[in-house]
Amino acid sequence: MIASFNHYWQLIVIMACFAVSMPSIAETLSVTMAEQFALQADPLIRRFEQQSHALSAQSVFEGQLPDPKLSFGFANFPTDSFNRGQEAMTQIQLGISQAFPKGESLRFKRQQTETLASIELQRRQLQARHLVQKVRGLFLAIYYQQQAIKIIQESAVIFRQLVKITEAHYAQGRQNQQDVLRAQLELSRLKDKEIALQMTMETKQADLAKWLGEKAWWSLESRWPVFATIPSQAEIEDQLSKHPLILIENAQIQAKQFGVKLSQQQYKPSWGVALNYSERKDRANFLSLMLNVSLPLFPDKRQDKQLAASRKQVMAAYDAKADRWAELKRQLQHQYAQWLRLTQQQRLYQAQLVPEAVQHSQASLNAYQSGVGDFNPLMRAKLLELETRLTALNIRFEKSLAQINLLYLIEQPALDGE
């Protein structure tokens, strides 16, 4: 009974150790998971958010009147005796003053800073788009390298068989040693390609680790990364006006326009008011009210130049927006044309070129094994099959990259707090 009980617990311990050694389901990385991890870890997204909060708080401050000033002092004290009652003009003074900036400059300054805060939020959105685009590209590149390595390894199995076949034929005197060496050479070249692909893949994983840490080395899900469907080119172009780059330029224009309004306020006077109370000993006290105003005279060297500079900045902002718009349209036209052509190529390879290359390779192998074919045509057929399969894979990879670049123009990642 005791032996049976011990055996039972040993079995539990073994199963527990096996469960611990097994990779968990969570360690399979999908492209969606990679995006979410990166968005949560990126410091720039948090930086732009904090800058927006800071500017929002600053706009409240800038919309307020300056603090009033309280003054306290002694006036006309006789220095020979410092007797407060000796002279009639000896006073203890208490005053308060308030300044009023020119025109509506406070309101326009507040609105300008609020606009700058909105720019930081749009920069946050832009960083999110750039980050998702980058992570998707790295994830796709890693997956592509893995699939290419798989094709290389499958071809290596075939070439090992060819080495054995040529060695057998050479031993029987049916082939010369050159065929054996050629088969071994191609097998070695395949190994070299596999090493190069492995090195590239590890480099991409290291790049991805900037945001994902150790998760960048998790195993990827088995299916090809799936992204959103691409709408028509006209539909994408209609959405370019909502791209953060354009929204940033629109906000820059608005901020510069507020700068023009601020410059126009400089032609108006600023005001100040002061109320003073003076106490005298055994005599009547004084109450004084003072009003001061600035005189913006001779504006040609100051206000005129400032207004002209502000208007030039507005024009420069419009030019910057036009340049951004043209660049986004260029990206759209380039990526959409590339995506369409690669789609056509992918269909051609899937429907014809890959199946035909496989059939040609198999026919050459059958002919060689039957003794009616030569080794060189067989080798060319096998290399052509490998090249065709790798090219088809690369076309699919490039098409997905173009798809990622098009989605960058229209997709807005969801961020915390939105």
252-303 pLDDT, tens digit each: 999 999 999 999 999 999 999 999 999 988 888 989 999 999 988 888 889 9
The residue ranking higher by pLDDT, 413 or 2, is: 413
Domain ranges (residues) in the chain: 23-65+103-266+302-410, 66-100+270-299
Predicted confidence band at 104 (pLDDT cuts at 50, 70, 90)?
Answer: very high
Predicted confidence band at 370 (pLDDT cuts at 50, 70, 90)?
Answer: confident
**Which two tokens mark 312?**
């030039």
- Kindly tell me if the per-residue pLDDT of 203 is higher than 60: yes
In 3D, which of 33, 3, 30, 8 has the Cα closest to residue 224?
30
- Kindly tell me if the per-residue pLDDT of 387 is higher than 60: yes
CB 71 within 8 A of CB 91: no
3-state helix, strand, coil in the chain (%, to 5): 70, 10, 20
Q: What is the structure's pLDDT at 10?
A: 52
300: Cα within 13 Å, side-chain hemisphere = 1
- Kindly tell me if the per-residue pLDDT of 26 is higher than 70: no
Q: What is the structure's pLDDT at 175?
A: 61
Contacts of 347 (CB under 8 A, 6+ apart): none
* Distance of alpha carbon 368 from alpha carbon 376, whole angstroms: 10
Q: What is the structure's pLDDT at 3?
A: 47
Q: What is the structure's pLDDT at 6?
A: 52
CA distances from 370 to 70, 104, 264 (A): 109, 96, 94
- Kindly tell me if the per-residue pLDDT of 171 is higher than 80: no
Predicted confidence band at 176 (pLDDT cuts at 50, 70, 90)?
Answer: low
What mean pLDDT comes out for the span 36-58?
Answer: 95
The residue ranking higher by pLDDT, 416 or 234, is: 234
- CATH 1.20.1600.10 is the classification of domain 23-65+103-266+302-410: yes
**Start-to-end C-alpha separation, the chain:** 63
Q: What is the structure's pLDDT at 172?
A: 66
The residue ranking higher by pLDDT, 4 or 345, is: 345
* Distance of alpha carbon 1 from alpha carbon 9, whole angstroms: 13
Compute the CA torsion angle 350, 353, 359, 362 (nearest 10 deg). Answer: -100
Q: What is the structure's pLDDT at 230?
A: 95
What mean pLDDT comes out for the span 325-352?
Answer: 97
69-75 vs 286-293, strand pairing mode: unpaired
Q: What is the structure's pLDDT at 417?
A: 60
Q: What is the structure's pLDDT at 79?
A: 81
**Which two tokens mark 203?**
């480099």
Task: Report percent pLDDT > 70 for the chain.
Answer: 91
pLDDT, mean over the chain: 89
Q: What is the structure's pLDDT at 394?
A: 97
State which amino acid sits at residue 80: D
Q: What is the structure's pLDDT at 105?
A: 94
In 3D, which of 132, 136, 149, 147 has the Cα closest to residue 204?
136
Q: What's the pLDDT tens digit per position in 134-157?
A: 999 999 999 999 999 999 999 988
The residue ranking higher by pLDDT, 326 or 282, is: 326
Q: What's the pLDDT tens digit per position in 238-261?
A: 999 999 999 999 999 999 999 999
What mean pLDDT comes out for the span 330-337?
Answer: 97
- Kindly tell me if the per-residue pLDDT of 377 is higher than 60: yes
The residue ranking higher by pLDDT, 203 or 182, is: 203
What mean pLDDT comes out for the span 369-395?
Answer: 89
Q: What is the structure's pLDDT at 75?
A: 87
Q: What is the structure's pLDDT at 77?
A: 82
CB 395 within 8 A of CB 345: yes
72: Cα within 13 Å, side-chain hemisphere = 1
Range name among 92-106, 165-179, 235-249, 320-334 with the lowest pLDDT average: 165-179
Range name among 39-53, 65-79, 135-149, 326-340 with the lowest pLDDT average: 65-79
